[in-house]
Every structure is written in C-alpha cells, then in structure tokens.
Amino acid sequence: MASTAQPLSVVILAAGEGKRMRSAQPKVLQPLAGRPLLQHVIDTARSLGPAAIHVVYGHGGEQVRSALAAAPVSWVLQDERRGTGHALLKAMPQIPDGHTVLVLYGDVPLIRTATLVDLIARVGRGTLSLLTMKTDDPAGYGRIVRARGGGVRRIVEEKDATRAQLAIRECNTGVLAAPARLMRRWLGLLKPDNSQREYYLTDVVALAVKDRVAVKPVVAAQAIEVLGVNDKAQLAEVEAAWRRQAARELMLAGVTVADPARLEVRGSVSHGADVFLDVNVVLEGRVVLGDGVHIGPGCVIRNSEIGAGTEVFAHCVIDHAVIGPECNIGPFARFRPSSTLARGVHIGNFVEVKNSTMGEGSKANHLAYVGDAELGARDNIGAGTIIANYDGANKHRTVIADDVHTGSNSVLVAPITVGAGATIGAGSTVTHSVPAGKLTVARAPQKTVEGWQRPVKQKR
C-alpha cells in the first residue's frame, strides 16, 4: 500500500479512441496477457490501496464499461474530447481537496506499483511529483524542460517544441501526483493555447513552477514500464516485455523454463518445487502446479490445478480441470470444464474428458470420449470407447463402478450404470445398465454371406 499523508484518489484517463489500432475494439480493451490493457492499470491502482479509483472514458464508452463491469471503479464520461486536462477536470468534482490525486493512463499497462509508491511519497501539501523517462527515441513524447539547476521548469508537447527542445531525451510519461486542492486550481487556469487547441494536463507543471510549488521528478527505471500502447506494434512490444518479466519471476522462484521467450503467462501461477515448462506453453487464469509437474511443449493450461508428479505430454488442453498427483496426460488430450482426476490416472492420445470424475488408477489410453460420467478406481476405457451423453436435447449421466473394462469401439449410451468388475465386449453399443462382475456383449452377430461378389466398375 502506498505511503502518503493524505488519502489517495486515482484517476485513470481512458477516453482515447486509438485510431492507430485500426480496430473496432476501443484501445483500452485491447488484450495484454489475456486481459484488457485497462484491467492491468486498474489492478495496479488497486495495489496502492486508494480511497477511490475513477476511470474517465469516452470513445466506445459503453463497450468499455460493459467489459469491466465488475471493476471497483467509478466511471466518469468525457463527452467531448478536449484534451487530458479537460479529462481530469471531469473527475475532480468527486475528489475532496484533502486527497492526493494520482493520474494514470488506460494504455500504459506495465507501470510498477513500486514506481508509483515512490512517486506518491514525494507529494507534499506544496509539492507536485512527476514521472519521467529517458529514451534514445523520444518521438511522440513531450519533452521535460529543466532549469539550469536541474529542476523541472515545464513540459513541451512534441508538436509545439522547438528544434532544440526536440533534442531533449528526457520525456514526459503523463503520470503525476499532486494535492487535489492545488490540482483543481491549476486545471481551472488551463488554456488551449497550442496547435491542437486542447487543454493539456502537462501545462499544470508550468503553473506549479509559477506558484513556486516544488516539482519533484521520478525517472522510471526502464522506458518499457511507461510505454503507452497506441498501435499493434507497440502492443506486441509490451506483450513481449510482459512475457519476459513473467518468465523471469517464475525462474527466480525455481521453475525451469525451457525457453523464456516461448512461455505465455496470462494470469497467476502458483507452483511447487522442480516444475518444468517446455516451449510454447500457455498458462491462463489461475493455474496451480504441484511439485515435480512436467508440462510438455505446446500445452494450454487454463484455470486448472495439476497435482505433484504429474506429467502432461505435448499439445494438451486442460481447461477448468483438477488433475490429481502422479497422472500421465496426453499427448493431444483435452480436458473440458469440471473434470477431476484422482491419483495415478492415465489419459492418452486423442482422449477428451468433460464434466467427469475418474477414480484412482483408471485409464483411457487411446481415442476415447468421457463425458458427464463418474468413473471409479482402476477402470480401463478401451480404445475408441465413447460415452454418448447427449440425446439431442439433454445431457445424461453415466456411472461406472470400480474395476470395469470396456472393449475397443464401445458406445455407452447414457443414462446407464455399469457395475463393479464388469467387462463390456469390443464393439458393443450398451443402452441398458450392465451387471457387476459379468461380460456384456451388445453387437450384431457376425456372419459370412456365401456367394456374394464385390461389384466391379464397368469399363468405358
């Protein structure tokens, strides 16, 4: 939580149209690591423990509000696009004079909590703090103009800068913090005296200097942290930075990552010791990996838990499932939501499990579908076996007791119950419950047709 003498109000400016994205989707809803850009900024703001978070929205506003309806923020409409100063002014009526105001941007998703804590800590009752960055390529950014003594004098937007000012390499990020009382007064003094005829928030820095209010700059540790996302190329650049950071955090915590550049983390990962992640693994949502879990190449794990010692072979998709310890999964297996495996279950290639439980030591090693079923322990589902759970209108449940074996290419038509120790002969289509401990065969008898000849294609 940020340390500040005054309560904190965060204002996130998110009204930009983002024409350079060339997308029907508003810029702040463009995805980064599986979540909207704006969601990342809101999450960072929440980590500061503010009294309130206000999001100023405009273009595509209802779409933005709908996508982030669950976010604990107040929404402020900027109905006219008249610049960043005007956008902040729209939010100020909701902010008491006794608060510190922190201004963030909905398209700057990588800014760190530690950086903002440092920025806020420099705000006093007569102090404005400003986040800057240094870059070899300042194109597109306002330049920080300092006095001879090193203090910040003002910010010049690139479109209004002289040639000498364009050579400055210290740039404005737009992120700043100040007492709300002072900010309210400065915003009231802004004038659209610039090439865009807009009210620039950056002009409050010159007003602060004029009032002899100290402007305390904080230089971001890395330029990527404060990169604004304006087009798909910058979005990819930010995504790559997120990927590097997520992989680094996992590796420093003890996870072995085969290639950090080919790991996608789109959520939170909890893990034990000696976890291995091969190339092109995608982890989405909340993922829990036990000790010694091995994830093969090309796997997608989404909102799932995988128990200790389990190995997931190549190209598996595990979605909202709980995989027990010491299981073998795949390759090319798929788990749909609400699937749970006990200890030591084997799921082989081209097997799909959906809304089912499988007891300890059960197996479905080849080309099978287990849907809406409850399997006991030590069951063996033969190659090509499917549980036909859908009648065209409704889903039905199948219950299979312990130690059941199904032969290859069997169809179990739900709803049925298969008793303990039962065996179902290969090629059977079972439509009634199967008694325990017996062999059940449900298929047409084999016969040979004497005198039959295969048709011969006529020559032309």
Query: Is 315 a residue of the active site?
Result: no
8 A C-beta contact, residue 220 and residue 130: no
Q: Is 87 exposed, middle or buried (0-12, 13-18, 19+ CB in 10 A)?
A: buried
What angle, 0 to 180 degrees and rounded to 10, lies between the N-to-C axes of helices 180-189 and 203-210? Answer: 110
User: The tokens 């930010």 sit on which residue?
Assistant: 238
Residue 412 CB burial class (10 angstroms; 0-12, 13-18, ≥19): buried
Tokens of 20: 């350079």
Which are the contacts of 391, defined by CB distance < 8 A and separation ≥ 6? none
Helices 180-189, 84-91: crossing angle, 10 deg rounding: 130
- DSSP of 101-132, one letter per residue? EEEEETT-TT--HHHHHHHHHT--TTEEEEEE
- Contact (CB, 8 A) for 225 and 242: no
CA distance 11 to 19: 23
Write the DSSP symbol of residue 285: E
CA dihedral 361, 367, 368, 369 (to 10 degrees): 130
> Of 59, 294, 366, 396, which one is the catalytic site residue?
366
SS3 146: strand
* Torsion angle of C-alpha atoms 9, 109, 228, 12, degrees rounded to 10: -20
Neighbours of 240 (CB within 10 A): 12
List the one residue out of 229, 184, 313, 243 whose CA is nearest residue 25: 229
**Is-contact 174 202, C-beta < 8 A?**
yes
- Number of Cβ atoms within 10 Å of the Cβ of 141: 24
Give the catalytic positions in this structure.
Answer: 366
